Amino acid sequence: MQRCVLLITDGIDGITGPIRVAYALGKHLIGNRINVKIITPYINAEINRSLIREGFNTRSLGKETLIGGQVGHLWIWIRNSLFMNRKIINEITNDSECISINLSFEVPIPSTIFYTQGYVGELLRDIAMEFPLHYRMAYKLSSPVIKMADNTYSKALLGSKYVIANSRYSAYMATERGAHVHGIIYPPIDTRLFRPVNNPSSDYVVTYVGKETQFDVLRAIANTGIRIIAFGSKVPWLPRWFLRHRNIDYRGRVSDEELVKLYANARFTVFPFTHEPFGYVPVESMACGTPVLTYNKQGPGETVINNETGWLVNTPEELVKLAERLWVSGYPETMRIKARERALLFDEDVIISKWLSLIMEIGGTLDKRNK
C-alpha cells in the first residue's frame, strides 16, 4: 500500500459532517501504519492536539475567518474558489509520495481521488426557498459569484485522476457536469454508538433542524397534535413560532449520547428536507432501530427502503398525512429490526474497507506507472 495518504478537508471545527469520513479513514490508515497528512483551511486547537495524539500530521493553511459557523465556511469556500494560492496548489499536487484524497469544498484543487459530496451552488439554490426575504435577496445578489465558485469546484473534480461520489445522487450531479465517476462509497456510521435500546418509549417523533429543513412541514405536523423533539444548531435562523409551538421541544445542539437516546426512543424520525446529497440523519436513526419518514429523492431516497425501514413520499402533503397516520396507528415492530439491519451496511468497518481496497488498487496502479 502507498506509504502516505494526504487528506484534504474543509475547516475543522469538530468531527462532524464531511470531516467524519476523513477522520474515520485516517484512523484506519494509521492503524495500517500509513503516514496520514491532513491539509485544511483551519483547525480548532483542541481538535488539532487530539488528532496529533492519534497519529495524524496536520497542517492548517491559515484561512480561518472571523465569521463563525456555516456562514464562515461559505465565505472560505467562495474566497478559496476565487483566489486559491497557486503555490499551495503546486505544493499539494506535486507531492508524489502521497495519494491525495480531496474531501473538501473549501480547498478546490485536483487530487488523486476527488470525493464529491454534492455542489454548494445547488444546495444554496434549494435552501434559499425556505429562508427569510433578506437571505433570499442576498442569495440572488451573490448568485454570479456562487456560480463562479461552483465552476472552480467542478474544474478541480474534472482535473482529478479518480472521482468517487458519496451517493448516486452526487454521482449524477457530477456526471451531468462532464465527470467520469469511478464509484460510490457512502459515508460511514458508527453503529456501535448508534444502536437501539430496549423497550423504547415511542412517545414522540424526532427531527433534525438545519439549513435544509422545511419548517412549514414541521409546523403542519406539530399542528396535528404530534409531539416533536427537535435537535440541531446549524441554521442561521429559527422561526419564532418554532421556538414557541406547544408540540415542539427544541433541544439545540446535543451530545452523541443524548442523540442516540433521542433516536432510539422515538416512534419514528421525520426528515423533511430541501436538499440532501446523502443525509446522516436517516442512517443514524435506522442504526438506532427507528424507521424514517422522508422524501423519495436524493440521498435519503437511496438509504431508506420504503415500507421496510421507513416510508418514502413525494410531497409535503403526503408526508404530513402519513406522519399523522403513523402517530395514531403505529407500524409493525419488525420495521425496527429491518432498520437496524439496513444501517449495518453503512457501518464504519464496512465502508472503510471499501476505501482501503480502493487506495491499495490506485496505489498499485500509480506505482506501475512511475516505474
Check whether residue 269 and residue 280 sit in a common domain.
yes
**Within a domain: residue 241?**
yes
Inform me whether the pLDDT recorded for 293 exceeds 80.
Answer: yes
- State the average pLDDT over residues 337-364: 94
Residues pairing with 85 in the sheet: none
The pLDDT value recorded for residue 1 is: 46
**For residue 365, what pLDDT band results from cuts at 50, 70 and 90?**
low
Check whether residue 84 and residue 157 sit in a common domain.
yes
- Could you tell me where the DSSP H helices lie in 224-347? 240-244, 256-265, 280-287, 298-303, 316-329, 334-343
Range scoring the smallest mean pLDDT among 67-71, 135-139, 208-212, 268-272? 67-71
Strand pairing category for 310-313 and 292-295: parallel
- State the average pLDDT over residues 270-276: 97
The pLDDT value recorded for residue 97 is: 75
Check whether residue 306 and residue 325 sit in a common domain.
yes
**Within a domain: residue 196?**
no
Range scoring the smallest mean pLDDT among 94-103, 167-176, 344-353? 94-103
Kindly list the distances between the CA atom of residue 219 and the CA atoms of 24, 67, 153, 214, 314, in Å, as whole numbers in the listed order.
Answer: 36, 31, 36, 9, 18
Check whether residue 15 and residue 127 sit in a common domain.
yes
Residue 127, SS3? helix
CATH number at 333 reads 3.40.50.2000
Please give the Cα distance from 238 to 256 (Å, whole number): 22
Highest mean pLDDT: which of 73-77, 321-325, 356-360?
A: 321-325
User: Mind listing the pLDDT tens digit for each residue in 116-161?
Assistant: 999 999 998 998 877 777 778 888 888 899 999 999 999 999 999 9
The pLDDT value recorded for residue 281 is: 98
**Within a domain: residue 299?**
yes
Check whether residue 147 and residue 264 sit in a common domain.
no
**What's the whole-number average pLDDT of the chain?**
91
**Within a domain: residue 224?**
yes
Residues pairing with 35 in the sheet: 4
Inform me whether the pLDDT recorded for 74 exceeds 70.
Answer: yes
Check whether residue 273 and residue 294 sit in a common domain.
yes
Check whether residue 176 and residue 226 sit in a common domain.
no
Check whether residue 338 and residue 354 sit in a common domain.
no
In this structure, the chain runs to a length of: 371
The pLDDT value recorded for residue 127 is: 87
Q: What is the share, in percent, of the chain residues with pLDDT greater than 70?
A: 92
What are 185's three cell numbers?
462509497
Model-level pTM?
0.92
**Within a domain: residue 69?**
yes
Check whether residue 356 and residue 222 sit in a common domain.
no
Domains in the chain, number: 2
Cell 420495521 locates to 335
- What is the residue range of 217's domain? 205-346
Check whether residue 175 and residue 215 sit in a common domain.
no
Check whether residue 247 and residue 141 sit in a common domain.
no
**Within a domain: residue 145?**
yes
Question: Helix axis angle, 316-329 relative to 215-223, nearest 10°?
Answer: 40
- State the average pLDDT over residues 185-209: 97
Q: How many CA atoms lie within 13 A of 235 on its CB side?
A: 24
Please give the Cα distance from 246 to 228 (Å, whole number): 10
